[in-house]
Amino acid sequence: MKGRAPILRNTLTLLVAIVVLWQLLYWRVGDVALRSPAQTVEFTLRFVTTPQFAAHLAETARAFSMALVLAVVIGLGIGFVLGGHRFLGEVFEPMLIALYSIPKITLYPILLLAFGLGISSKVAFGTIHGVIPIALFTINAVRNVRTVHMKTGRVMGLRPWDMVTRIIFPSALPEIFAGLRIGFSLTLIGTLLGEMFASQRGLGFLLMSAIGLHNVDLIMTLTLLLTLFAGTASVILLAINQRLRARMSA
């Protein structure tokens, strides 16, 4: 409970500060580019009950969930392999870092040619955004496993799979989870960007259409919904991560 209180307090403080700044900015800019918090909440409550929102939400949820699963599985696989083999890590980790520094939007035309305009390209784009940070955090987490734990596993005669599941993964889990938090956010961003640039469905497509039509109400509503989802997920994952670290240090 002690660990949850600061997170909850800081989250509420941040929310209050954002709402206050939002209202002040609305008073300064006006209806040309913004809506007030009250107006946005009112429109959002009406919009989320429409069939249009349900259809686009389902499309985005499907693409995002598939991309996230792929990013986690591939990222963990790469991380454990490169983290557990010194030579492979020294060769391929710099390549991952270099690939991570490339603006992913430059790869999107290649993905469109490879996967087309359907859900596959959105899933691939989301996966590319999330897989590398998960892999990099996992590599460092595996390398930082205490030597005494590894020696204990070898003395016990554990097989490689047992070493991973019973020694390496539990010891590295807190740091791996930190990578999952970042990978979660980046996968969501990648999926939405994929919908914005080459899609006929999804919240990203809806947001891009609203921008083109200068529909301020819809822009503010979608921004609010996406921010609430990402923020809530981040707070939950942060709380879990802190509990894992506290358990490991106990």
Q: Note the pLDDT of residue 50.
A: 92
The answer, yes or no, to whether residue 39 has pLDDT greater than 60, is: yes
List of residues 6+ apart from 111 with CB closer than 8 A: 121, 124, 125, 128, 194
Domain 35-247 in CATH 1.20.950.20? The answer is no
pLDDT at 132 over 70: yes
Place of tokens 């989802």: 229
- Which tens digits make up the pLDDT trace of 81-104? 898 888 888 888 888 888 888 887
Quick one: pLDDT band at residue 240, thresholds 50, 70, 90?
confident
What does the mean pLDDT of the chain come to?
85
What six digits make up the tokens of 2? 């002690």
Both tokens assigned to 165: 């599941």
pLDDT at residue 7 in the model: 65
Range of lowest pLDDT (24-28, 43-47, 84-88, 202-206): 84-88
Residue 107: its pLDDT value, please? 78
Task: Report pLDDT for 84.
Answer: 81
- The two tokens of residue 184 are 């979660």
106 burial type by CB count under 10 A (0-12 exposed, 13-18 middle, 19+ buried): exposed
For the residues 182-203, what does the mean pLDDT come to? 87
Confirm if 63 and 122 have CB atoms less than 8 A apart: yes
Question: pLDDT class for 42, splitting at 50, 70, 90?
Answer: very high
